[in-house]
Amino acid sequence: MTPKVVAVAGATGLVGRQMMQVLEERNFPVKSLKLLASERSKGKTLTFKGETIPVEVLSEDSFKGVDVALFSAGGGTSKKYSPCAAKDGCVVVDNSSAWRMDPNVPLVVPEVNAHDIAKHQGIIANPNCSTIQMVVVLKPLHDAAKIKRVVVSTYQAVSGAGIKALDELKAQTLAILEGREPECSVFPYPIAFNCLPQIPQSDAFADNGYSTEELKMVNETKKIMGDDSIRVTATTVRVPVFSGHSESVNVETEKKLTAQQAREILSKAEGVVVQDDLSKQLYPLAPNAVGKSETFVGRIREDVSHPSALDMWIVSDNLLKGAALNAVQIAERL
């Protein structure tokens, strides 16, 4: 692969830093790296492959001569600057929700629909973290038995809400253990020792009662899988886990799959690791997934309430496969 000039927009955030780490670990052919962020990060430096690189202020002229830009700077920023980058001949892989449902922008998980990358017009969308780990597992089952309906409940780590949210979880945990009243600024209620059925924490619910995160999972799953006939419903919950998203997923298929057939199919699937041995209490756990590139699935069992449905437990590193790694994998396929 020819060395590329790469930019990371939102470089000082959790996902931006993770993108840099993934580029380095996977030895992506970086000719030079440009780090971009808001005015607040002006003067900061970050290290890449032993080199200290200054963080530049993101502007409309930041992408001249850049081949690939990985964006993780928020939806509004992406809406403003991604077209500028594309106009200058740079291909944007955007981690925000800004472009995901745009019919002219591919929404890609490489293990599922890498073929859609070729349709890009300068911008490629990186899906929601919870959607990514779910569809990596669903696609092989869909190919084998055609999925009719998906019911998912998520248990999402605090790192998905950013650095300030992680700091809030730490501070609240300490406060409660010391008998003090926890203070809230990121979340509407304490996240320590609690579960919040509202993601993202700052958005109002839709008129139908769904959160925006839940609607993302519904709509993105259909687009990535390329099948609008799949019925999807979701309940998304923030839990007091630092990193690693977990999901309880019920899948109804047109053709019956036994639990053993599902295990065999998934054991051969790209990017999936089956951890499912109840005799050894082996099943996926969020802490064990942190730092791993794969998506883990276990507790695979046949639904006792339905003749052609399966229940399973899916876990992945939300900052890695759920964001940074998936974006870099798209860039590699480019």
Q: Are 269 and 136 in contact (CB under 8 A)?
A: yes
- What is the amino acid identity at position 282? L
Beta-bridged to residue 154, according to DSSP, are 236, 247
Task: Give the residue numbers marked as catalytic.
Answer: 129, 245
Nearest to 220 by CA among 88, 95, 77: 95
